[in-house]
Amino acid sequence: MIDFSRNHFELFGLPERFGIDPGALDRRYRALQSEIHPDRFATSGETERRVALQSSARVNEAYSALKDPVTRAQYLLSLHGVDALAESDSSLPLDFLERQLERREVASDALRARDAPALEALLADVRADYAALEPHLAALLDADSAWSAARMRVRELKFLGKLAADVDAMLGELDS
């Protein structure tokens, strides 16, 4: 079984940073799965099969957590004892909130009007904001160790990610 006390970064032999080399993460993920995937142990004894199942699931969990910027930032903060998405403090800057609520209205109007191009444009907009936030967050986390300032950005990033997913789902609705 994989040493469950090792954190996600250690598991892939990566430095504990927000800025990671996605190519290196992919390569190490594949190298690990090549060794421990249950397909490698299909005719092994029960113990080895169980260990492979648990280890492979653990590696999948770590990979999906590090691949996504929101969960990666959230996880990195948790290693420093900071809960980025604590329910007790879920505040967001007022101007940010206003802007996103406006966008939500635009989205529901476009859905009602079955206006796919408007939804596409909105989605591109939200994704651009998302992409712009990432380097900002990297600076706060990796250069400044500014944990509490980073918390707010993580929440913004999560909000934008959810909005993008919802708009994407609306486009899907128009499809079917």
- For residue 60, state whether it binds another protein (rule: CB under 8 A): yes
- Which region, judged by CB under 8 A, interacts with another protein, from 60-68, 72-80, 86-94, 103-111? 60-68
String of contacts with another protein for each residue 18-47, x by CB under 8 A: ----------x-xxxxxxxxxxx-xxxxxx
Alpha carbons 63 and 75: distance in angstroms, whole number: 12
To another protein, the closest distance from the beta carbon of 49 in angstroms equals: 9
- For residue 5, state whether it binds another protein (rule: CB under 8 A): no
To another protein, the closest distance from the beta carbon of 146 in angstroms equals: 29
Q: Which of residues 105-164 bind another protein (CB under 8 A)?
A: none
String of contacts with another protein for each residue 64-83, x by CB under 8 A: x-------------------
Give me the DSSP letters along the chain: ---TTS-HHHHTT--S-SS--HHHHHHHHHHHHHHH-GGGGTTS-HHHHHHHHHHHHHHHHHHHHHHSHHHHHHHHHHHTT--TT-TT-----HHHHHHHHHHHHHHHHHHHTT-HHHHHHHHHHHHHHHHHHHHHHHIIIIIS--HHHHHHHHHHHHHHHHHHHHHHHHHHHHH-
Nearer to another protein by Cβ, of 43 and 91: the residue is 43
- For residue 56, state whether it binds another protein (rule: CB under 8 A): yes
Q: Tell me which residues touch another protein (CB under 8 A).
A: 1-3, 11-13, 28, 30-40, 42-48, 51-58, 60-61, 63-64, 168, 171-172, 175-176
